[in-house]
Amino acid sequence: MTDTTSNTSVARETPPAVGHTLDVSHVDGDAYEVDVRGHRLLVDQPVDAGGTDMAPTPVELFTASLATCVAFYAGRYLQRHGLSRDGLRVRSEYTMATDRPARVDSVRLVVVPPPELPAERRAAMLAVASHCTVHNTLREPPEIRIEVKS
């Protein structure tokens, strides 16, 4: 960037990363509570996996996170173009890997746009939705460190 008053170059510094925190606490059996900015949600395991099935699994929340991020971006696209979000839906279908390590093997997301979305706008909405933050994070995975507090 050039400072036009003194005609000298001014380097812009990259802003520091903003940290975010959430806490997970054991509730009972395989159930855990997640506290995110005062919002609480539960995770559990199905009965056939030893849980009580009182909440979604962490993997279900993972795929829900991706699907809701895609929906959010698609919704913002619609809003920017003066189109209704009524009827917008995203369906997530996923498969688990059959080998080790345990992981999600594939995810298929199906965006169902509102009926009013013109056909010529579908590709643009898909392009926007395909670059949501969660999807971008999966494409460029973050560094993950797991520590045990001493």
CA 51 to chain centroid? 25
Taking the C-alpha atoms of residue 90 and residue 65, their distance in angstroms, rounded to an integer, is: 11
Supply the mean pLDDT for the chain.
Answer: 93
pLDDT grade for 11, boundaries at 50, 70 and 90: low
What are the domain boundaries of the chain? 22-56, 57-141
Segment 129-143 mean pLDDT: 97
Residue 101 predicted with pLDDT over 90: yes
Give the closest residue to 88 by CA, choosing from 111, 118, 65, 121. 111
Superfamily (CATH H level) for 57-141: K homology (KH) domain (3.30.300.20)
Tell me if 42 sits within 8 A of 27, measured CB to CB. yes
Segment 112-132 mean pLDDT: 97
Taking the C-alpha atoms of residue 80 and residue 122, their distance in angstroms, rounded to an integer, is: 14
pLDDT of residue 8: 52
Segment 70-98 mean pLDDT: 98
3-state helix, strand, coil in the chain (%, to 5): 30, 25, 45
Label the pairing between strands 89-96 and 104-112. antiparallel
Which pTM does this prediction carry? 0.85
Long-range contacts formed by 57-60: CB under 8 A, 24+ apart: 59/94, 59/96, 59/104
Residue 83 predicted with pLDDT over 90: yes
Tens-place pLDDT, residues 14-58: 777 778 999 999 999 999 999 999 999 999 999 999 999 999 999
pLDDT grade for 1, boundaries at 50, 70 and 90: very low
Segment 52-69 mean pLDDT: 98
